[in-house]
Each structure stands twice: as C-alpha cells, then as structure tokens.
Amino acid sequence: MQTANTTAIVTGGASGLGAATAAALAGAGARVVALDLPAACETAPDAPGIEYVPTDVTSEDEVRAAVAVASNDPDRPLRIVVNCAGIGPSARILGRKGVHDLALYAKVVQINLVGSFTVLAVAAEAIAATEPDEGGQRGVVINTASIAAFDGQVGQAAYASSKGGIVGLTLPAARDLAQYGIRVMTIAPGIVETPMLATVSEEFRAGLAAGVPFPQRLARPDEYARLALAIVDHDYLNGEVIRMDGALRMAPR
C-alpha cells in the first residue's frame, strides 16, 4: 500500500516510538495527524507534514473528533493508523504496601488496550468509507504490544495484561476488518531507548543491553518506525505479531 498522498494517525505521536513513526510517515509523503495529551502536544517539535491534535485515547468523543480531522482531506484519504500511546507503571500484585492498586491496574488496561481498540474501531469506520485502491485495500492499523505480553516480569502484571490483550486482539481484528480491505498488525518491541529510560543511569542501560543476544544494544525508536513503514508497504502482512527484540527473552526480574 502506498504511503504518499495518504493520511496517517499516530497515537502517542509527540514522543518516543510515536514521534519517530510520525516523522518517518511524514518523510514518506503522508499527512500525519499525531494524537497525544495536550501537554505533550504543546512541547512537541514543529515538523513539516505533522499536525498535532490533543487527544485522550480513553475518550471516545475526543478520538472521534481526532479521526474527523484525519478524514477531512478527500485528496489524502485516511489509510494508516499506528497506535503507540501507552503507559507502563510497575507494581507487584502483593507488595509491601498491600494489594496492587486496582485503580492503577484498570488505568493501564484502559489506556493501553481499550484506548488502542477505541482508535482502531473508530478509525476503521472512517477508513471503510473510503474508496479502495486498485488492490482492494483501504488501510492498515498497526498496534503496539511488547515482549512483556509473552515474558512479563515481576511487577508487570498490569502492563503485561494490557499488552497481552493487544496480541490477542490482532487476529480477530484482522478477520473482522478483512471485508473492508483493512489489515491489522502488531509490533511487540523489546527494550527501546525511549524517554521512559531517560531517567535511569548509563550503567543500568548497559546492563539491559547486555541481555540482548544480538545486536547487543537497546533498540532505537527509528527502528520501530522503519518496521511500521515496512508493514504498510507489505500488502500480505496481516493478522500477525512481529517481535522486534534482538531475540531477547526476559527473565523473571
């Protein structure tokens, strides 16, 4: 599927994986509508081809408003959605302060899983209303899971649950949307050099990198972005989860 002269939605588009993906899509000729929280949008760097729309992915109304913005250019139809918005707090089910905060657990699932589903479903409705290309395609949705979906560590019950839900969503979503010419794929990154790691020491990052079989380093956001563009371009990739982790399998802690 062509990227040029289309519109793409990227959630979490003001930083990390989302920012790298938004930049890569814009560089490939797409009009990018980057969704993120208001504070993140205010501090995001201006970039040609990228429009920031303050959006809370847990709000159906805000998601619908953002999708309407992304669907308002008939010359550049909405074809691409990349869900990168998410949070990853750590807490044990039973810790020194008692039981895992149930509200925190619900919040993680609400943002990471329900938020991704909301954007997928609302955007799919808009994409389905567009004219297909010569191959019968209308679009592709790429969700973001994590290797924690498979190798969740101590303290990752909420995060791993939410990302496991993304993995489980992939195939049925692809089957549901096949009749509309919409593909659904998931990327499961390993440890990526994102702002979430900016607060830890170089020594700690080096220790994380040492656990990766090869290449023995942390992944870069631009590598995620390149994989997302490859998925867009490869019409026969559908209903699958791709691990981007250097063959890393996480230990219990």
Structure tokens at 159: 């995060």
Q: What is the C-alpha separation between 79 and 218, in angstroms, rounded?
A: 31
DSSP 8-state assignment for residue 131: P
Q: 221-233 and 16-27 are packed helices; what angle lies between their axes, rounded to 10 degrees?
A: 50
Provide the residue type at 215 as one letter: P
- DSSP-H helix ranges across 152-197: 157-177
Pairing mode, strands 94-95 and 98-99: antiparallel
Which DSSP symbol is given to 171? H
Helix axes 60-70, 115-128, angle to 10 degrees: 40
SS3 of 48-95: the string is: CCEEEEECCCCCHHHHHHHHHHHCCCCCCCEEEEEECCCCCCCECCEE
Residues annotated as part of the active site: 159
